[in-house]
Amino acid sequence: MNYILTFGSVHRVLQAEAFLNDAGVVFRLIPAPKALAKLCDLVISVDEAGLAAASAALSAAGFLPR
């Protein structure tokens, strides 16, 4: 199962990307599903194993999904 992390703007997605890369988290940048596209056109997708790692990395950086 894949999980989608949204951040409200492309700028915030790119900031999150940097934190996740630094932490070695496996993720993908993907176009937002239509239901979320009004919030932002880009989201981060992680698998079940990566969700905890992504959450920990973003929390450690003080950067959380909105």
Q: Containing H/E element for 7?
A: none
First to last CA, the chain: 21
In this predicted structure, the answer to whether residue 66 has a pLDDT above a threshold of 60 is no
Sign of CA dihedral 31, 15, 26, 5: negative
Residue 34's pLDDT is 87
Domain-located, residue 19: yes
- The count of structural domains within the chain is 1
- 2-17 residue pLDDT tens: 999 998 899 999 999 9
Domain-located, residue 48: yes
Instruction: List the Cα angle 25/27/29 in 5-degree steps.
Output: 140
> Residue 7 burial by CB count (10 A; 0-12/13-18/19+): exposed, middle or buried?
buried
Domain-located, residue 21: yes
Domain with 39 in it = 2-60
Q: For residues 59 and 32, give the distance between their C-alpha atoms in angstroms, rounded to a whole number.
A: 22
- 32-48 residue pLDDT tens: 988 887 778 899 999 99
Domain-located, residue 65: no
